[in-house]
Amino acid sequence: MNPLIEIKNLTIDFVLNNGILRACDNVSFTINKGEIIGVIGESGSGKSTLASGILNLVQAPGKISSGEVYYYTENNEKVNLLKLNKNDLNNYRWSEISTVFQAAQNALNPVLRIEEHFLETVYAHTDKMSNEEILKKAEKVLSYVRLDKSVLEYYPHQLSGGMKQRVLIALSLILDPKVILLDEPTTALDVITQWYILDLLKQIHNDLGITLIFLTHDISVISGVIDRIAVMYAGEIVEYGKVEDVFNETSHPYTKGLLDAIPTLHDDITKRKAIPGSPPNLIQDFKECKFSPRCYMYLNEECDGDKKKTEALYKVNGNQCTRCYKYGELTSKEIVKEGA
Ligand SMILES: Nc1ncnc2c1ncn2[C@@H]1O[C@H](COP(=O)(O)OP(=O)(O)OP(=O)(O)O)[C@@H](O)[C@H]1O
Ligand code: SF4
Ligand SMILES: [Mg+2]
């Protein structure tokens, strides 16, 4: 598989009056060309911060404290997005990597018609297309999300939530990106519309070969669509791998907790178990495994939560990795430090 985006040791901090909040902690992860990736984790785990880091869009009081984000161009040139100046970065945004931001439906300007959103978006990134060309292309990308061209004449308030979300997906496609980052793309929508939009995205992925990165707290919605999954907890990736491997051989207690909490249609809801406790305050110098206060192994004194040992990832299967060093002991399976 050819890499498309390589995130290396990315650390993002928010410098606040009461301390430094580490929202992304030494994140390393590679996204390959043509994949559909799901980054999942509870609210506050750092998903949106990671997305803004990948795009070098972290705003004060946030800052990228360390790390690199490499983008591989069509000629296999490796470009560190964090080292580009504003203009060069603008050339990559939208035409190479585009985004559908969290709560994006509110991002549509209420006083602009949809066609003006397309024109403004394109002009912000290139001057190589005429109005006519942009609107022709807008009709085409709207058809990918099964919206009629008449929508171009509408104001945002004339569209339903699902239509707005589809307009935003169409907008993200206007400059033929190679990859789209979708931050909670379906969260505000009803279940039927969620499935409909995911189905559309899968179709767009199949037809255009675009790499998709979903960032969401809702594992149940995306699990049927993604190839690989990365699980985030308190700013760290705690487990990643092919979705079927992570589901069949879950190797981190946090992932297990997330999976145990998913309700299904045929399920007895009382059998679902929420993860005890709540995510930690990220303004602290962690002395033990970040998940330890909520981990049944730690609470049963079966693991000492040695922080040092959780600073590495361990290989479980082929490409599946876990941050839980206890997993090997539990399964009598040899797990090795990744890259060791
Ligand atoms: N502008 C900011 N100023 C201060 N802290 C911030 C800021 N943005 C995010 N954070 C903190 O960074 C951490 C990660 O937040 P982030 O929004 O990335 O989480 P998330 O996983 O996207 O959550 P959600 O599922 O609710 O969208 C949280 O502790 C949050 O409070
Ligand atoms: S390292 Fe220990 S405390 Fe941390 S998740 Fe694994 S078993 Fe739990
Ligand atoms: Mg978010």
290 bridge partner residues: none
Does residue 314 sit in helix, strand or coil?
strand
**How far apart are alpha carbons 143 and 321 in whole angstroms?**
40
**Binding site membership of 310 for ligand 2 (Cβ less than 6 Å):** yes
In this structure, the answer to whether residues 33 and 72 fall within a common structural domain is yes
Q: What is the span of the domain harbouring residue 204?
A: 3-226
Is residue 181 domain-resident?
Answer: yes
Rounded to the nearest whole angstrom, what is the distance from the C-alpha of residue 172 to the centroid of ligand 2?
A: 39
Instruction: Indicate the residue among 166, 196, 226 that finishes a domain.
Output: 226
> Which ligand 2 atom is at minimum distance from the Cα of 295?
8
Ligand nearest to the CA of 14: 1
In this structure, the answer to whether residues 194 and 296 fall within a common structural domain is no
In this structure, the answer to whether residues 264 and 202 fall within a common structural domain is no
In this structure, the answer to whether residues 123 and 11 fall within a common structural domain is yes
In this structure, the answer to whether residues 170 and 242 fall within a common structural domain is no
Does residue 13 sit in helix, strand or coil?
strand
pLDDT of residue 337: 73
pLDDT of residue 281: 96
pLDDT of residue 169: 93
pLDDT of residue 203: 93
pLDDT of residue 236: 97
Please give the radius of gyration of the chain, using alpha carbons only, rounded to the nearest integer. Answer: 21
In this structure, the answer to whether residues 33 and 142 fall within a common structural domain is yes
In this structure, the answer to whether residues 272 and 199 fall within a common structural domain is no
In this structure, the answer to whether residues 36 and 127 fall within a common structural domain is yes
In this structure, the answer to whether residues 138 and 8 fall within a common structural domain is yes
- Choose among 225, 235, 299: nearest CA to 42: 235
DSSP 323: S
Is residue 231 domain-resident?
Answer: no
CATH code of 67's domain: 3.40.50.300
In this structure, the answer to whether residues 102 and 209 fall within a common structural domain is yes
**Binding site membership of 61 for ligand 1 (Cβ less than 6 Å):** yes
> For the purposes of burial, counting CB atoms within 10 Å of the CB of 34, is it exposed (0-12), middle (13-18) or buried (19 or more)?
middle
In this structure, the answer to whether residues 134 and 17 fall within a common structural domain is yes
Omega before residue 61 within 30° of 0, cis? yes
Report which secondary-structure segment, H or E, holds 195.
Answer: helix 191-208
Instruction: Indicate the residue among 171, 196, 226 that finishes a domain.
Output: 226
Instruction: Indicate the residue among 195, 226, 257 that finishes a domain.
Output: 226
**Binding site membership of 104 for ligand 1 (Cβ less than 6 Å):** no
For every one of its 340 residues, what pLDDT tens digit does the chain have, with 9 covering 90 and above?
Answer: 899 999 999 999 999 999 999 999 999 999 999 999 999 999 999 999 999 999 999 999 999 999 999 999 988 899 999 999 988 898 898 889 999 987 766 789 999 999 999 999 999 988 889 999 999 999 999 999 999 999 999 999 999 988 999 999 999 999 999 999 999 988 878 888 888 889 999 999 999 999 999 999 988 888 889 999 999 999 999 999 999 999 999 999 999 999 988 766 566 666 667 888 999 999 999 999 999 999 999 999 999 999 999 999 999 888 899 999 998 777 767 777 775 5
Domain count, the chain: 2
DSSP 234: T
In this structure, the answer to whether residues 196 and 277 fall within a common structural domain is no
DSSP 83: G
- Cα angle: 231, vertex 234, 239; to 5 degrees: 25
